[in-house]
Structure 1
C-alpha cells in the first residue's frame, strides 16, 4: 500500500452530503481505494433532509 493517497488528496478527508445511496457509495468507494474510517459518522437535519459526515484517513500513511 502506498503511503501517499491517490490523486494528490490529503491524508485526512471529511466526506459530507445528504444521507442517501450516493453518499454511502462515496464512503464505500473511499474504503475500497484504501481509506479507513476515522471516528463515528455525524448527522444533522437541515430542515429538509438528513446531512451526514464521515471522516476518513489514508491507512497507508506512516507518520
Structure 2
C-alpha cells in the first residue's frame, strides 16, 4: 500500500473547486486546510489544497498522479 500526495493549485474560482471535487470523486481525500495567496501583480486570489490517496501499487516517480 502506498499513500500518494498531490497539491492542487489554481485561481480561486469555480474551476479550482471543480478540480478539487473531481479529485474527491476519484477517491482522493483532503489533507489539511486549503491555503490562499493574493497575487498583487495579477490582482487575483490563488489557492492550494493538498489531497492524498492510498493505492495498491508501489510508488514510481513516473506515475501520473492525476490518473490514479
> Please, what TM-score do these two structures have when normalized by structure 2?
0.72
Which structure is higher in strand share? 2
Q: How far has the Cα of 1:61 moved from its partner? A: 4.0
Q: Cα RMSD between the aligned structures?
A: 2.0
2:47 corresponds, among 40, 45, 52, to 52
In structure 2, runs of 5+ residues without a counterpart are 57-68
Aligned residue for 2:15, secondary structure, equals helix
Larger Rg computed on CA atoms:
2
Cα distance in 1 for residues equivalent to 2:5 and 2:39: 25
Q: What are structure 1's unaligned runs of at least 5 residues?
A: 5-9
Hey, what does 2:31 align to over in structure 1?
38
TM-superposition CA deviations, 1:26-60 (whole Å, max 9, x none): 000000000000000000100110000000000x3
